[in-house]
Structure 1
């Protein structure tokens, strides 16, 4: 069982100022009174003490005279006291809280005994555990590539109905109107309804980690490729060394990797350029001429591959047609040849001679033999053509690699010459080239002795595919549909008891649009199109009561608390500020709301607590017998005691 609220306590800004507002768990608690007596502040205080990231308490006497807020939470055999200071000057919220485990029935401790040392996030985890939420569960966020860890903050979507929400035609759940909240509500609904399987949630978490591992691994591979020396960089550095007279020109024919590295080590042992005439060769032109030759070879290779593929396709077409023709001529095998008669044949039925057909049969037989000979020849040629195509494609790939290395050399030499153009001194030019060669050799050495990044891309992709296959069999969607179907039946039953418009139609909780929808012969009608304010109020109450029945009966981790702030507002005039008498019809409609609450409370037998803040004060026992606090201006009763309000504080 999850928790309910035993009391709300406020501590004043002066010593010894403490006021506790007690509530009865497992039943209906009504706080009635005039406006501006602190009724609505009860909801915001409870919200703030349940680890809110904001300070929801509105400006007024509560903010002016209260320094610390606290709530007492209870469940069978356990009690938790949670306190939180009001934000200090120029701070938006207090980031530390006081969380105390108490013996059941213990009163709120004095302010001096409270120690505010628990960070808000830690307090949120403690409250989530007290609520029964599995903090190992992760659910996918709707509209974002992230996962949500359900907490007590998410459970409150289904527990609070503020004054501007309880009969709102546009929002059904608490704080639904805030940015990003609708997608968060959509994401956590399956978990709080019990449709999220723990094993499936773990698989989703593993899938998320596997995808992160793949992303990190690919980043490491990319970094290793960036760090690795380019294939043409060594040859380009050799060209620069020749131009700087650090290496003899006759060594430029060296093509092996080991040979190029051996030659590059030589300039590091010299103190400057070797004596001799400046080179008149243009290495850029040589490289570009070599590139032109490589492109010509590549074009010829592409042309040969295209011709071979055309020949292979033609052979394939001929083979198909020849096989079809051979199938037609194969019936000649039914004719039995007479060796004593050159062109004779016997009928396959009666074995009699078939003299008139001997010429035609012989010609067809020869045609069949020619076809078989051609097919045999093509059968021998096809593998040879395929082999030639493979060889040509291999040569083309080699030419492409050489073109890539050639382009790297051109880029390296061009960049080096551009940098060296600003160095008129041959010795400085040679020193710059030596520095570039030294950096290259150091990088190559690090790669040789450093740990190699093993390419595990395929392994990780296989693991991700396996997890995706397991998750494709997830039945969460089916369970959610089934659960919502049962909840929809309860919503419709309560709507009919409240005599709401469209209650005779099929009603459903639309978790995508986060509203109630009536399916009628004229089409779907959402909550905002369902008539007047009393319908909006009725559907809010019917939906939330049905959800809490589901939560309680299935042991789902949602606080067994439903707080409604002034549901009677739809029956009062907009400018209402004090006691007024409801019209008889409105009084009946409001009493129907409270009777529906009583039916749910009897059904759940102590597993749900309902707290209602009201302007109205009805004489009917369904209302009056459950009023816990009356805060009337004429009696001086309010959340903040009159004795706390002093001229000094004002």
Structure 2
């Protein structure tokens, strides 16, 4: 695939596009002053080939252009690849046309989206001969699988002005996230060191390794399940032993022994003891105890009353004895006992109230003596009543003791029955768990583990077989061998340009691991980033890509047959140059040598390689250089010439 024309269509729909035409199979030079849009040519071509995130400048291109179109040629056909100006950060719209040698750029009114970027890449990839396969990253890689297409091949066809002078990166967009790994993954295919067969084998290997991991997981899960079942079985055996279902359990029983013991524990039957209703018996004893306590309280109150009577009787008889003793002294009087009671015995004067006579006192004494006798006669009856109450009380106390003992026995029996019932419940639960464990364990003992182990062995053998096939392919070694073939031209052309370290180098090559140029010397390998001077960085970039594309063309690899360089002579001119032709003291001999190499490589490929260069330089004394110019954007008759026409900016 080579470029025939690039067209820009105005946003207002004017019929005449801005067209830049290229010559296939030759050196194409687009020269001119700075800030005329030369560098944008590469970005526009990249966008038309399907890049979803364009890198187009805002002004003045974005302000004026509505559509971009690229006309490309294949061996026996042509294809139009057109894309509208992106409305935002990206777009997927596209327009595709295919035809023969007469297919040309469309009119402005014919531009309309009829496809998308994915279809564009697919059709271009098919015409390039890129085989339809999906690259599978190695097992465990974090990156995703992707379809190999022109999107990866195009990375080998561009060198913008920043990339061609980069001492750390060799390829287009290499410093962007994920692009370097994509180059490492796909460059062996574009070199011919790997193909769909290897990708398919790696895909099968990935699937086989996934199946092996799944088989290993299943086997590990089965082992863990069996170990868990064994541990659970041993725990159940210990519980069964503690409840008397088993007499003895070995310290470390095997799986079969565990199962046999569990089955034995399951066959043990335990007599069921139904619940006994002791409520009535307990209620009767409780009522009896309450009645006895009431009787005991009554006896205690009766005894207290008898004691109070006793104390009161003792006080009464004591007073009677005292008074009687006093009254009995009257018997000691003689004749004077019959004195006049109405007169004072001392002064014989009359008393207001007469004293009692001796006869009256004697009568009162007799009465008191009689009452005292009666009181002393009641005491034996009271004592007998107390003894009777105490005997009856003692009987009640004894009956209370018996009642308490009966209640305690009843409580003990009740607790014993509850414990027995609880034990039966525990045994039933244990046997239920044993039955569940035996039922769950019937599906995966040693037989299933043996089958899973056989499946794992088969999966491992399949992985080993596929790995052996991939090892036989040895894609990395084959890629290095092909890069060594490319290094032959790289070394010769680096010496031709007199690049630094090239004269003493054994070989100048591309390192697939570093994605950069490496100079191999007797002292050791020297990467490009350790070689000074922008002149050398640009020179090594040029010889690497020229040699790489020469190899692609020689071996008919599915890579577009064009190579675009932007500002390859920038190292020989000031940083902000307006026009290189105005610089008198530049190293024009080296500049000429660079362009001569480009022309010779294009001629060497005999029309199979198209080289497009955008640069400030214009070698006016070299006829071959002038013949290679397709656009010269320098003022002519006072009129500015650039990618965007002057009338578009009005």
Same fold (TM over 0.5): yes
Aligned to 2:569, the other structure's residue is in SS state helix
| 1:507 matched residue in structure 2 | 507
- Worse-superposed segment, 479-488 or 576-585: 576-585
Q: CA–CA distance in 2 between the matches of 1:595 and 1:576? A: 23
Corresponding position: 1:125 with 2:122: yes
Q: CA–CA distance in 1 between the matches of 2:435 and 2:18? A: 78
| 1:395 matched residue in structure 2 | none
| 2:94 matched residue in structure 1 | 97
Aligned to 2:473, the other structure's residue is in SS state coil
- What's the offset of the Cα at 1:154? 1.9
- What's the offset of the Cα at 1:6? 1.4
Q: CA–CA distance in 2 between the matches of 1:70 and 1:437? A: 79
Q: CA–CA distance in 1 between the matches of 2:10 and 2:553? A: 36
Q: CA–CA distance in 2 between the matches of 1:115 and 1:257? A: 78
Alignment of 1:376-391 (within 5 A): none
Determine if contact 1:30/1:614 at 8 Å carries over to the other structure: yes
Residues 1:252 and 1:597: Cα distance change in structure 2 (over 3 Å): farther
Determine if contact 1:53/1:93 at 8 Å carries over to the other structure: yes
| 1:134 matched residue in structure 2 | 131
The gaps in structure 2 that reach 5 residues or longer are 250-256, 277-425
Q: CA–CA distance in 2 between the matches of 1:542 and 1:462? A: 47
Residues 1:51 and 1:141: Cα distance change in structure 2 (over 3 Å): farther
The one-character-per-residue Cα deviations of 1:364-390 (angstroms, maximum 9, x if unpaired) are xxxxxxxxxxxxxxxxxxxxxxxxxxx
| 2:642 matched residue in structure 1 | 638
Corresponding position: 1:163 with 2:139: no
| 1:206 matched residue in structure 2 | 204
| 1:422 matched residue in structure 2 | none
Residues 1:238 and 1:520: Cα distance change in structure 2 (over 3 Å): closer
Q: CA–CA distance in 2 between the matches of 1:632 and 1:201? A: 50
The one-character-per-residue Cα deviations of 1:616-642 (angstroms, maximum 9, x if unpaired) are 222122322111112336523322233
Determine if contact 1:166/1:537 at 8 Å carries over to the other structure: yes
Alignment of 1:412-451 (within 5 A): none
| 2:76 matched residue in structure 1 | 77
| 2:518 matched residue in structure 1 | 517
Residues 1:139 and 1:590: Cα distance change in structure 2 (over 3 Å): farther
| 2:371 matched residue in structure 1 | none
The gaps in structure 1 that reach 5 residues or longer are 266-272, 278-428
Alignment of 1:182-331 (within 5 A): 182-196=180-194, 199-219=197-217, 230-233=229-232, 250=245
The one-character-per-residue Cα deviations of 1:64-83 (angstroms, maximum 9, x if unpaired) are 22233222221111112222
Determine if contact 2:31/2:616 at 8 Å carries over to the other structure: yes
- What's the offset of the Cα at 1:442? 9.9
Residues 1:112 and 1:524: Cα distance change in structure 2 (over 3 Å): same
Q: CA–CA distance in 1 between the matches of 2:140 and 2:73? A: 36
| 1:568 matched residue in structure 2 | 569
Q: CA–CA distance in 2 between the matches of 1:234 and 1:192? A: 62
Determine if contact 1:142/1:184 at 8 Å carries over to the other structure: no
Q: CA–CA distance in 2 between the matches of 1:100 and 1:631? A: 30
Q: CA–CA distance in 1 between the matches of 2:78 and 2:260? A: 76
The one-character-per-residue Cα deviations of 1:22-70 (angstroms, maximum 9, x if unpaired) are 2111111122222222211111111122222422213321222223322
Q: CA–CA distance in 1 between the matches of 2:266 and 2:155? A: 70
Corresponding position: 1:598 with 2:625: no
Q: CA–CA distance in 2 between the matches of 1:142 and 1:625? A: 53
| 1:423 matched residue in structure 2 | none
Q: CA–CA distance in 1 between the matches of 2:235 and 2:454? A: 29
Residues 1:249 and 1:52: Cα distance change in structure 2 (over 3 Å): farther
**Whose Rg is larger?**
2
Determine if contact 1:98/1:116 at 8 Å carries over to the other structure: yes
| 1:62 matched residue in structure 2 | 61
Determine if contact 2:507/2:521 at 8 Å carries over to the other structure: no
Aligned to 1:31, the other structure's residue is in SS state strand
| 2:627 matched residue in structure 1 | 625
Report the RMSD for the aligned CA atoms in angstroms. 4.3
Q: CA–CA distance in 1 between the matches of 2:439 and 2:10? A: 70
